[in-house]
Structure 1
């Protein structure tokens, strides 16, 4: 196990936030280091944290970019204004390593941030996760899957629980979603074949809907009704399954919205609802 130590933060910027860039949260020979960026707003004491997980069909994307329909300054700026620290993380893509590598990386990032919460100015008891598409799936799985699926990446052990989840149009059931074939760009592999290499057992393990328990944290599911990539029915089924276990869940339906909220004239209300949900559950403020 590598001894991970967070470096000194970068020079303060005009908004008085502390910004850490390129923290290495996990290492494995033969793979690129797994990195995260962290911004902590000015506060009198430790602040709650939201971990943002990017999408990209588990095949692409990185921590620096939000979907083209969601300005980064709107999303991350709104979280910081609500008094929430923001960590954005990279994880291994499916052509680098099949599932559960992606889940192991998300868990490792959460454990790293909790391990060094004191040095980083974070409240270790108030962590939330938020993601879109593949990142929404990974956020939900991180909140629901138990230690048997956690892996030993990064600091290798520790608490990876979270206290609130925002899942934007993520896959809930990896088996049923494959009934809806995707048209990928030329030269791109099928995302599910790349992730699981045809192993249905792995697909079952990767399905958040199979890991629900009554002690799951509160969920906000946000999904467009005409999503052509991840069917809206995924969130409908997930909402139903969470409710059946007594989990506090809200399904926010975005009428006539496609994937990444294409077709939505104004995304600000979507961002505002998501930030308000996280602030309510992580800060206790209405």
Structure 2
């Protein structure tokens, strides 16, 4: 029942967001140039890409997966700076992983345990249900934007999960619930539950969804990123509290979900821009 209530409430909230969303795609002053006059005639169909579950959408998943995997080959200076920040922070956290584990272990209380139990499902059960609820709400309400956003979110989550699954099968790090040493590893592709700590799948899932919603609604509703990322941070904290992951696992899971999703949305915006420019050339 709690999951159903969550879906219904989130669906109502997202439909309400659509009510207040702007529908205009262009605006111009009467004294603008001839090119601007052509812009005013553009419709939403000319400037936006809206997905439905069909061959085009399924094809976009494969295209975005190839784009994401190949993207490091096209990185520039700022991309390497971001990578340095991510890896540098991960290295610092690895040096503190044991102390952070002990800090949480010393502060277990009934209140925090109850709170952590309520928040933890956002990293596995709640997030996929939320995406499914968004899709159903969009279809039922005939809201193409909401339907599209749910499919973009699902695609981002799928691609980040595929990359996470491969990474986890290669890097077999011991879980803190089984080891006190954060530097215990097993051979790549070894199939055992004791070495499945790196990176955090819960954190990747909730961060992917949080980033997708922030990208979709953050510009018109600045409070959305604050809410979604706060939930993501709280979910990651529960993984430390339950000793399911080291702090560095949580950080890298969040980083993977965030940057993969941001990249997918960036590519989508570039495709929309390309579509708009092509439409302008037809005038």
The TM-score with structure 2 as length reference comes to 0.25
Relative to the length of structure 1, the TM-score reads 0.24
Structure that is richer in helix per residue:
2
Rg: which structure is higher? 2
Choose between structure 1 and 2 for higher RCO, CA contacts under 8 A separated by at least 6 residues: 2
Q: Which has the higher strand share?
A: 1
